[in-house]
Structures are given as C-alpha cells and as structure tokens.
A and B are shown apart, each in its own frame.
Chain A
Amino acid sequence: MQPREAAPIVATLRTEPESFNRLVSATAAVDVITNLIHAPLIKVDRQTGLVMPWLAERWDALSNTSFRLHLARDVRFSDGAPFTAADVAFTFRAVYDARVNSAAASGLRVNGQPLAITEEDAHTVRIDFPAPYGPGLAILDFLPMLPRHRLEDALASGRFAEAWAASAPPDTIVGLGPFIVREARAGESITFARNPHYFRRDQLPREGLAEAIIVRVVPDQSAEMVQLESGAADLVTSGLRAEDIAAFRALEQQGRVRLHDVGAALDANALWFNLKPGAPASIDRPWLQRTELRQAISRAVSRQRIVDTVFLGAGEPVITPVTTGHGIWHATDVVPPPHDVDEAARLLASIGLEDRNGDGVREDANGREARIALLTQRGHTTRERTASIVQEDLRRAGLAVDVVPLETGALIARIGSGDYDAVLFGLQASSADPAVNLDFWLPSGPFHLWNPAQPAPATDWEARLAALMDTVAHSPDQQERRRAFHDVQRLFAAELPAIYFAVPKVVVPTSARLTGVKPVVLMPHVLWMPEALGTK
C-alpha cells in the first residue's frame, strides 16, 4: 500500500535567511533553515539536554579530551554523493579558515583553541579537544556537515561565503538534513521537499509525513498570529505574546490550534550599569557603580507589577538569568528579594543619595540630582514597557530615569563603546548549558555585559566567578559542574552586576492538524526537529 502523503506544512518566519550556510551566517532564520536541510554529527535533544547519536552513530572516549567517532554507514548527501570522514574534515577546515571568518567558529573553540580533527579511515574520525570541556561532544550540535565535493572549490578560491547565498540556485544546495530546497522566492517564501536520501528515513513514521514545508516570510508578528488563527500557517517564529494567550486558549477549546506550555523563557531582560572602572558617566556620579544602588533598585522595582502588566501574569519574577526553564541548572534557593520601598530608601541614603531640597528627587552630596539615562531597544514592546515600569517605580523611590529607546544597532554600538549609564536589554540564549554561554559569564568574555573583556578580573567576586565557571566549563563531573553553577547564581544574586526582573512563560502555538511536534523552550521551538513533522 502506498503511504498517504500529507499536505505541505506552512511555517512563518519574521526575517529572511541570509544564507543556506550556517558557517557564514548564524541568525535565527539561518538556524531554522539549517535544521531543515543539514545535519550535525551529534544532536542535543533539546527536551532533555542529552546528546543523541546522529551522523556519528557511536563514539568512544579515549581520554578526557579525545574522542573517536564512528560515522553512520551508507549515508548519502541529497545529491546522492556518499558522506565520509573527508566531509567532516572539510567542514572543520572551513569553520576555522580565517578567510571564511565563520560565525560558528567561536562556538567551536575551547579556551580560544580549535578542536583537532583526524581522519582515521573513511568512517572514523578522532576529535581532540585542546582542554577538558564540560559539555563534551554536545559542542558538535552547532556544526552542520557540509559536502566537500560541492564547496571545496569555493573554499579554495575564497568564494565560500557567496557560494550558498540566499540567491543561489536551489539545486546547488546539498545537505544531509531531512529536507532539500525546492524553490526559493526572494523576500517571500522557500519551499522545502523531503530529502530522498535522508539517512534516518527508516526511523520516521510511515504515515502522515509532510512531503513539503513552506517557510513563508511574514515580517509582522500580528500578521503571523492571524495566519495561524485562520489556518494559513501551521507554525510561527516564536511563542505567543502574553496578550494573545487568552484568545488562543479559546481557539484551542474550539480545536483550531494547539498550545504547548514549555516553561519559563531562557532569555530574561536585565538592567545593568556600566561598571567599567573609570567609565565616563561614573566620574562625576560615582554612586552609579555602587552595589547598594543596584540592590536598592532590585527592591524598589516591583517584579510582580512587571509580571502582571508586561506578561499579564503569565511570567515569573527572577533575579539571575538562570530561570526555571534552565531545568537542572537552576538553583532553586536563589529567589528575588521582596518589593521593599523602605529598604530601597535606606540603601540609597547609605550611599549619600537623599532628597535634600524636597522636590521628590534625591540628590548626591554635591546637590546634583540622581538622574540615570536608561538605554533600551526601540520597538521591542516587552523591553519598552519594562523600562517604563522601572522608570515609574524609581521615580517613586526618588531616582529620576530618562528612558532612551535606540535602534538595535545603535544600542549595541553604545554598549560596545561603553558610552552609557545603564541599559535594559536581553541576550538570546542558545543553550541551557552554561558552558556555552562563557562569553557572558567570564570576566574576559565579550558579553560580560557590565564590564566586558577584562584582562584580569576587576573585582574579587569576579575572580571567584571566573574560578567557579572554570569548573562549570571544564569538569567532566556533571554533579560538580551543577554545584559550581548553583554557587555562581548565589554569587550573582548577592552582587547583582545585572538586575533581572521577570521572564515570560513560553507558550508555543501550532495548528491543530500538525503532528510529530517536539516543542522546546529554545528557539526554534518546533523546527529544531523537523524530520517527523506531518499532518493529521
């Protein structure tokens, strides 16, 4: 009997992918495309956080730093060419090639050093880490295997980046993923068909599999919601906005959509001050860098009001970036302090900020108004509303806040140049494993927001933080890594280098007819595992 074919699935994406090559561009849109048309050696199950054999069907740990990977046999690229260890070696060569300047390179270094790849035979490779690495082979999850026979010339001639540009002809894009590119219409949609050579096709259900996925560019979230609601789309870019949840619950009751509660979001918004020693703003306002100021703000701002107003109650208060969505990594004893205006006032007075002239705004010892310019991202409703609430609550506490919304580019430029008092912004989480986010946690990291790229830890507590994170990053003992990371959170909550307020709960909507869905809290919520998608 012929298996029944299902109608194409439609997924909307707010931006267009810039490339079909994740090594060249690592935006969220490219990530989605990569999951459709490419495959890594090892995949991390984003529901459990465990590594799954993928193109490498098994491996042996030779030591703390050395692994032998056995590639699956009889695997073919979508053009029919066989996949061998030579392709693995080629992919690693491309990723570390200086001319490619790969977006994936920094994620594939340990302590700044590349991994070493040795082809042992056509189906065996050895991978040597420069140092012990906590997450181990999970690092390979980010690296799609590329066809050497297609891209070798481009790499040699320095045209690697252009070879798989978004405008490349679909039949030149070759991969190991469950889908192939059938048709790309710039600015509109990309149609993907099933890859006839997909190496896991035997593991997939025989019935109801979607033969095609259409990824449609819909720049506006409201338009995405309407398409989902009307059945024109099966999947959308992100979880529901708080204001849409109630309406979609009603639609779920009518059987028109399905909602998946996947827990607290991983990326919380933070307010941080520029703590770089000698930052321009802190010269005549040294109180900007005092820990007491941050502790006062943490108490003066009502986290519950942010949860209630910005997330309509569908959120939870937090104090560190490690939300309950991080599962085992989250330290349950680290909780936000209660909303306490009196304690905030005491803390502010303790660093010399008092209302000396009775106008409702505190002044420092020199009679200067306690005024803070708070940069935030223009057009990002959650951040803008959070900033407004912070502004209002701090006004009541006697601190004047000027909210300055900036375009994303300009905002990042200001953060990079250190030209700011305070910022309200958030970083996108790419994994729950903290070892992946070392650029945030380590004082030497470029995303150590409040004082990035320190040559040596500037404060005692940051030296302690660096030592703890070293254990998290390099210990092979998972229990020890977890304990160290819980200590990191306690340290963070005490020092408050960045003040976290609240995260939304993520509710992922899909159409009611969609099957084979494994929703996760990380983006892309569904398309991280597209192989089994189908329709009823």
Chain B
Amino acid sequence: MTALLVFRRVAAALLFVALVSTSALILARRAPGDYTDTLRAARVPADAIERERRRLYLDRSLPDLSRIWLTGLVQLDLGTSYRFARPVTSLLAERAPRTVGLVASAIALAFVIGILWGTWLVQGRPLVRMLLSGAATLVLSVPSIVILFALMLLAVRSGWLAQGAHGVVTPLLGVTALLLPAAGALARLHAEALAEAVGAPWATASSARGVARRVLVWKLGMRVAATRVTSVMPLVAANIFGASLLVEVVTGWAGLGRLMLDALVARDIFLVAGCTAAIAGAVAALGLVSDVLVNLLDPRIAAHEAAK
C-alpha cells in the first residue's frame, strides 16, 4: 500500500468523521426543545436565560454552530457538555475506553472462535459437523440482547452473580452475548471459503504430494482467514458495536452508548456531536486497519490496487 493511498484513505476518514458529527450536531440542535427548558421551568429570569443561551452557543445559527464545532474538532476541543458540566473530551476519554474494551474484546474473540469453529466445521466428523453447523445457524440468528438475557438468567440461577463477582461476571456476559452471533456467522463464512480452497486443483495436488490434510487445512485456513474473513472486519465491528448499545444499558456498563443516550435525551448538542465523532472515528479507523491488514497479509490485493 503506497503512502499516497494511505494518505487518501486517512483524508477520506477524517472527512467522514467531520461530516457525520456535524450532521449529528445539526440534528440535535434542530430537535424540539433545548437544554435551557429546565431553567425556564425553574423561574430563572429571562435575561439570565438569554445569557445562558449565549454561553452555551444556543443563540447561534446552524452554519455558525457547525463552524464552531468544526474549528473545535480540528483543535480536538469538542466543547463542554451542558448536562455534565465537563469538557466533552474528558467525558469521552472516560467512557470511550470502556466501550472500546467491551467491543474490541468481543470482536477479537469472535474472530478467534469463528475461525476455529469454521475450521472444525470443515475438518470434523460428519456428526460433529452437523452439530456445529446447527449451532452456528442458531447463534448467528439469535440477537445479542436475547443471548444476554438468557446468560443473565443462567448466571442468576446458578448463583454466579450473587457471590461478589458481579463486577467481573457482568462484563463477561456482555462480551459473550456480543461475540456469539458474530462468531457463528464468521464460522460459516470461514468454513465456506475454506471448503472452496481445499477443493481447488492445486490443493488437491499438494494433498497428492503427501502433504497431510490436517496441515493443508490449517495452512489454507490461515490464508483464507487472513484475506476473506479479515475483509469483513468493519461489518462485524459495526454489527457488534450497534448491539453494544443495549448490552451496555442492560448490564449498567457506563460506556459510550449510555453517554450518547443521555446526551440525546438532554439535548446536550456538543456531547451528541462528540459521541458521534468518536463512533464515526472508531468505525473509520477500523476500516483503515482492516485495509492495511488485508494488504499486508495478501500482497496480491496490494498489487491489484496499485495497478488501478
């Protein structure tokens, strides 16, 4: 991947973040009601409310507001949250790592489990394959939130939750609920790609040359995993990330999802825009990482891209 190409991708990603977060800002500002409603209710005099609105930039026009936001974004100063009376950046620095931790561990584990599962789907005995395939279909079609409720029921019934392990068990349940549907889908994807690769003529040939089938499957498996499976990373990530919202709320995990929800409901416009920027930034960064990974792992794609 050439430096120019990387530069173009990064520029596109930054543009994407700016565009999406500004749209969120405008949307939140246009929404009925604003933050000073509560002041009006508390019988704060009209001129004090007017001062407050000026301080919070609520008297600005939408283009003005967008300009203020974008200038701030460039300097990484995302303004102040009304609701929390704290800089948005400090709130994000506090909450985003919790969500990233939850989502990233779910993604990583989904890939590891999915690839092992998929390999076994190709390798295993017929009965095992049938069971595994059924299980994959089952988990990939059950939404994370349902899995989470099922796991919580299990945990409560077995007493894991009551014995002081709440702080450890709850996030574990969350991660498990998030990774299972993705792992099931990745297992199926990996198995299909692998079966195709194993059936290819040159694979048959090397098998005839005496390369053990097990070795062949693993070698091919890694290659398939590195290319076709890795390329769906952004989709998997967006999927798991979306599901993490409800998982955070149900498990009481104080992450980005909870923060975004609070911000939206309180009409805390800079916090809404800040959260959106963080989400869009994460999504864009992941796209970049997956591109780089695919390029590194499969030089042919790089060659192909260079030729374009």
Direct A–B touching, Cβ under 8 Å: yes
Chain A residues packing against B (C-beta within 8 Å): 16, 18, 101, 165-167, 186-188, 218-220, 222-223, 226-227, 229-232, 407-410, 412-413, 415-417, 446, 453
**Chain A residue at minimal CB-CB distance from B267:** A409
**Beta-carbon contacts of B22-58 to A below 8 Å, as 1s and 0s?**
0000000000010101101111000010000000000
**Within the assembled complex, what's the spacing in Å between the Cα atoms of A219 and B248?**
12
**Contact between A232 and B33, CB atoms less than 8 A apart:** no
With a cutoff of 8 Å between Cβ atoms, the chain A residues found around residue B254 in the complex are: 187, 219
Instruction: Knowing that A232-B164, A409-B37 touch, tell me 14 more A-B residue pairs with CB under 8 angstroms.
Output: A101-B48, A166-B86, A167-B86, A186-B94, A187-B95, A220-B252, A223-B166, A230-B162, A409-B33, A409-B35, A409-B266, A413-B37, A416-B42, A446-B43
Using Cβ atoms and an 8 Å threshold, which residues of chain A touch B35?
A: 409
Instruction: Tell me, yes or no, whether B235 is within 8 Å of chain A by CB.
Output: no
Q: Which residues of A contact B90 (CB under 8 A)?
A: 186
Smallest beta-carbon distance B92→chain A, Å:
11
Query: CB-CB < 8 A to A223: which residues of B?
Result: 166, 252
In the complex, residue of chain A having the shortest beta-carbon distance to the beta carbon of B254: A219
Task: Please list the 3 inter-chain residue pairs (A to B) with the smallest Cβ-Cβ separation, ordered nearest first.
Answer: A416-B41, A230-B164, A220-B252
Chain A to chain B contacts (Cβ below 8 Å), 23 pairs: A101-B48, A166-B85, A167-B86, A186-B90, A187-B95, A187-B254, A188-B94, A218-B252, A219-B254, A222-B252, A226-B161, A227-B166, A229-B162, A230-B162, A408-B38, A409-B41, A412-B37, A413-B33, A413-B38, A415-B41, A416-B40, A416-B41, A446-B43
Which residue of B has the minimal Cβ distance to A232? B164
Contact A230 B40, CB 8 Å, known A18-B85, A187-B94, A220-B252? no
B99 to chain A, nearest CB (A): 14
| Inter-chain contacts of B95 with A (CB < 8 A) | 187
- Most chain B beta-carbon contacts within 10 A, residue among A227, A231, A410: A410
What separation, in Å, do the CA atoms of A186 and B265 have in the docked complex? 22
**List of B residues within 8 angstroms of A222 by Cβ:** 252
A231 surroundings in chain B (CB, below 8 A): 164
Within 8 Å by CB of A226, from B33, B91, B166, B258, lies B166
B167: Cβ under 8 A from any A Cβ: yes
In the assembled complex, B2 has its CB within 8 A of some CB on chain A: no
Contact between B38 and A232, CB atoms less than 8 A apart: no
Residues of A with C-beta under 8 A to B33: 409-410, 413
* Contact B43–A232 (Cβ < 8 Å): no
- Known: A186-B90, A232-B166, A409-B266. Contact between A219 and B41, CB under 8 A? no
Q: B41: which A residues are within 8 A, CB to CB? A: 409, 412-413, 415-417
Contact of B163 among A101, A187, A230 (CB under 8 A): A230
A186 to B266, CA, bound (A): 20
Q: A410 vs B266: C-alpha distance in the bound complex, in angstroms?
A: 9
Nearest to A101 among chain B residues (CB) is B48
List chain B residues, Cβ under 8 A from A409.
33, 35, 37-38, 41, 266
B296 → chain A closest CB, angstroms: 38
User: Please, which residues of chain B bring their CB within 8 A of the CB of A232?
Assistant: 164, 166-167
- Complex-state Cα separation, A188 to B166, whole angstroms: 17
A413 near B40 with CB under 8 A, answer: yes
**Interface digits, B63-92 against A, CB 8 Å rule (1 contact, 0 not)?**
000000000000000000000111000110
**Cα of A39 to Cα of B164 in the assembled complex, Å:** 35
Which residue in chain A gives the minimum CB-CB distance to B94?
Answer: A187
With both chains docked as a complex, state the minimum distance between the C-beta of A463 and any C-beta of chain B, in angstroms. 23
Q: How far is the CA of A218 from the CA of B48 in the complex (A)?
A: 33
* Residue on A nearest B165 in the bound complex, by CB: A230
> How far apart are A289's CB and chain B's nearest CB, in angstroms?
22
What separation, in Å, do the CA atoms of A166 and B94 have in the docked complex? Answer: 15
Which residues of chain B are near A187, meaning CB under 8 Å? 91, 94-95, 254
In the bound complex, CA of A223 to CA of B253 (Å): 10
> Chain B residues with Cβ under 8 A from A226's Cβ?
161-162, 166
User: Which of B40, B41, B48, B95 is most buried by chain A, counting CB atoms within 10 A of its CB?
Assistant: B41
A220 neighbours in B (Cβ, 8 Å): 252
The CA of A446 and the CA of B166, in the complex, are separated in Å by 44
CA distance A140 to B41 in the complex (A): 27
A231–B161 Cα gap in the complex (Å)? 13
Residues on the A chain within 8 Å of B86, using CB:
166-167, 186
Chain B residues closer than 8 Å to A165, beta-carbon distance? 85
Q: Tell me, rounded to whole Å, the shortest Cβ–Cβ distance linking B153 to chain A.
A: 15
Chain B minimum-CB-distance residue to A222: B252
Cα distance A413–B43 in the bound complex, in angstroms:
10
Chain B contacts with A in 164-192, Cβ cutoff 8 A: 164-167
Q: Please give me the residue from chain B that is nearest to A411 by CB atom.
A: B41
Task: Kindly provide the distance from the CB of A420 to the nearest chain B CB, expressed in whole angstroms.
Answer: 12
Min CB distance A166 to B, Å, is 8
What is the bound-complex CA distance between A273 and B147, given in angstroms?
A: 45
What is the bound-complex CA distance between A230 and B165, given in angstroms?
A: 8
A230:B266 contact, CB within 8 angstroms = no
**CB closest chain-B residue, reference A165:** B85
Measured CA separation A116–B303 after assembly (Å) = 84
Q: In the complex the two chains form, what is the Cα distance from A167 to B94 in whole Å?
A: 14
Given contacts A222-B252, A446-B43, contact A412 B38 (CB under 8 A): yes
Residues on the A chain within 8 Å of B258, using CB: 219
Using Cβ atoms and an 8 Å threshold, which residues of chain B touch A412? 37-38, 41-42
Give A349 Cβ to nearest chain B Cβ, in Å: 37
List which B249-308 residues lie within 8 A (CB) of chain A: 252, 254, 258, 265-266
A186 to B88, CA, bound (A): 13
User: What's the Cα separation between A410 and B37 when bound, in Å?
Assistant: 7
> Interface digits, B238-253 against A, CB 8 Å rule (1 contact, 0 not)?
0000000000000010
User: Which of chain B's residues has its CB closest to A378's CB?
Assistant: B265
A25 to B90, CA, bound (A): 21
Q: Could you tell me if A416 and B43 are in contact, using CB atoms closer than 8 angstroms?
A: yes
How far, in Å, is B41 (CB) from chain A's closest CB?
3
**B48 / chain A contacts, CB cutoff of 8 Å:** 101
What residue in chain B is nearest A414 (Cβ atoms)? B41
When the two chains form their complex, are residues B37 and A230 in contact, meaning their CB atoms are under 8 A apart?
no
| Alpha-carbon distance between A409 and B263 when the two chains are bound, in angstroms | 13
Q: How far is the CA of A410 from the CA of B36 in the complex (A)?
A: 10
Chain B min CB distance to A224 (Å): 9
Whole-angstrom distance between the alpha carbons of A227 and B33 in the complex?
Answer: 37
In the bound complex, residues from chain A placing their C-beta under 8 Å from that of B43 are: 416, 446, 453
**Cβ distance B31 to chain A, nearest Cβ, rounded Å:** 11
- B254 vs chain A, min Cβ distance (A): 6
Among A101, A232, A409, residue most surrounded by chain B Cβ atoms (within 10 Å): A409
CB neighbours (8 Å) of B163 from chain A are 230
Report the separation of the CA atoms of residues A101 and B165 in the bound assembly, to the nearest whole angstrom.
46
Chain B residue with the shortest CB-CB distance to A230: B164
A167: chain B residues within 8 A (beta carbon): 86
Output the least CB separation between B80 and chain A (Å): 12
**CB <8 Å contact, B40 and A417:** yes
Q: Which of A16, A229, A413 is most buried by chain B, counting CB atoms within 10 A of its CB?
A: A413
Residue on B nearest A25 in the bound complex, by CB: B85
A219: B residues at CB distance < 8 A: 252, 254, 258
Determine the distance from Cα of A264 to Cα of B181 in the docked complex, in whole angstroms: 48
Residues on B with beta carbons closer than 8 Å to the beta carbon of A407? 265-266
| Bound form: Cα–Cα A417–B39 in Å | 11
B-side contacts of A227, CB under 8 Å:
166
Cα–Cα distance between A229 and B161 once the two chains are bound (Å): 10
